[in-house]
Amino acid sequence: MPNARADLLQDMHVAPWRSLSRFDGRCSLSTWVYRVAHNTAASHVDRERRSNTGAVTLDDAGDLPYAESLSHIVERSDALDRLNGWIRGLKAADRQIMTLYLEDLPASDIAEIAGLSPGAVATRIPASNINYRRIFRSKPMPDRDPLQSLWSQQQEETFAMSMAEIHARATRFQSGIRSRNLTDYAAGLFVIGVLGWVAWQVPEPVVRLGAGLIIAGTVYVMWKLHVLASASARAVIDQAVSLADFHRRALQRQRDALATVWRWYLAPFVPGILVFVGGTSLVADIGLPLMARLTSFAFSAALVAGLFTAIAWLNARALKQIDAQIAELEQ
What residues contact residue 191 under an 8 Å CB cut-off, 6+ apart? Answer: 214, 215, 218
Average pLDDT over residues 208-220: 95
Give the pLDDT score at 225: 94
Average pLDDT over residues 121-143: 49
Q: Provide the pLDDT confidence category of residue 142 given band limits of 50, 70 and 90.
A: very low
Residue 149 and residue 143: Cα distance in Å, rounded?
10
- Given a cut of 80, is residue 141 above it in pLDDT? no
- Given a cut of 60, is residue 157 above it in pLDDT? no
Residue 326 and residue 331: Cα distance in Å, rounded?
9
Q: Residues 137, 186: contact at Cβ < 8 Å?
A: no
Residue 209 and residue 168: Cα distance in Å, rounded?
47
Q: Residues 278, 263: contact at Cβ < 8 Å?
A: no
* pLDDT, greater one: 231 or 2: 231
- Given a cut of 80, is residue 312 above it in pLDDT? yes
Give the pLDDT score at 134: 42
R_g over Cα of the chain: 29
* SS3 sequence of the chain: CHHHHHHHHHHHHHHHHHHHHHCCCCCCHHHHHHHHHHHHHHHHHHHCHHHCCCCECHHHCCCCCCCHHHCCCCCHHHHHHHHHHHHHCECHHHHHHHHHHHCCCCHHHHHHHHCCCHHHHHHCCCCCCCCHHHHCCCCCCCCCCHHHHHHHCCCCCCCCCCHHHHHHHHHHHHHHHHHHHHHHHHHHHHHHHHHHHHHHHCCCHHHHHHHHHHHHHHHHHHHHHHHHHCCCCHHHHHCCCCHHHHHHHHHHHHHHHHHCHHHHHHHHHHHHHHHHHHHHHHHCCCCCCHHHHHHHHHHHHHHHHHHHHHHHHHHHHHHHHHHHHHHHHHC
Q: Residues 296, 273: contact at Cβ < 8 Å?
A: no
pTM above 0.85, yes or no: no
Q: Residues 253, 229: contact at Cβ < 8 Å?
A: yes
Give the count of beta carbons closer than 10 Å to the beta carbon of residue 139: 8
- Given a cut of 90, is residue 39 above it in pLDDT? no
Residue 143 and residue 137: Cα distance in Å, rounded?
14
C-alpha distances in Å from residue 48, one per residue of 4, 38, 42, 194: 11, 15, 10, 49
* pLDDT, greater one: 162 or 174: 174
Give the pLDDT score at 135: 40
Residue 325 and residue 247: Cα distance in Å, rounded?
10
* pLDDT, greater one: 262 or 99: 262
State the chain's mean pLDDT as an integer: 75
Q: Give the torsion through C-alpha atoms of 281, 286, 288, 294, to 10 deg.
A: 0
Query: Nearest Cα to 222, choosing from 191, 245, 200, 201?
Result: 191
Q: Residues 322, 12: contact at Cβ < 8 Å?
A: no
- Given a cut of 90, is residue 164 above it in pLDDT? no
Side-chain half-sphere of 51: how many Cα atoms within 13 Å?
7
